[in-house]
Amino acid sequence: MKNFISKLLAIILLIGMVLPAFAQKDFSRRFKAIRVGHSKVITIPLEANPATGFSWQLIKISDKMVLEFVKKEYAANSGKLSASAGIENWSFKTLKSGKAVIVLEYRRPWEKDTPAQKKEEFNIFVE
């Protein structure tokens, strides 16, 4: 009986360690909430390395009456090689009170059928 309980506890422990690893791999995005006033510009910085062919792609703005895309700019890390990582700054303007969801994916634009390497979702609450 002790042997059975030991094996059962080992299995439960193993499942507890493996399950979060699968969840992190399959759901690499992080959910973020940003509160801001209307008629403001917000900037979302995201790590990127365009030398690899990857860049952030805007997948969705859920409510374009609340939020509009303004621009995307890349800034290389200072003092690093040109082929090193940097930051993509995504700017959006708030138009009126409400909620909008921004979804961005880090991918190679020409690989349409390949899943994104990363996915970020931002909940924007405009007051």
- At residue 65, φ and ψ (nearest 5 deg) are -85, -20
- Whole-number Cα distances in Å, 89 to 18, 58, 96: 35, 12, 22
Q: What is the CATH number of domain 29-126?
A: 2.60.40.2020
Residue 6's pLDDT band (boundaries 50, 70, 90)? low
Identify whether the C-beta of residue 89 lies closer than 8 Å to the C-beta of residue 59. Answer: no
- Pairing state of beta strands 31-36 and 86-94? unpaired
- pLDDT tens digit sequence for 47-101: 999 889 999 999 999 999 999 999 999 988 876 555 678 999 999 999 999 999 9
CA dihedral sign, ordered 126, 34, 75, 106: negative
Q: What is the strand order of the sheet 86-94 is part of?
A: 41-48, 86-94, 67-76
Domain ranges of the chain: 29-126
pTM over 0.75: no
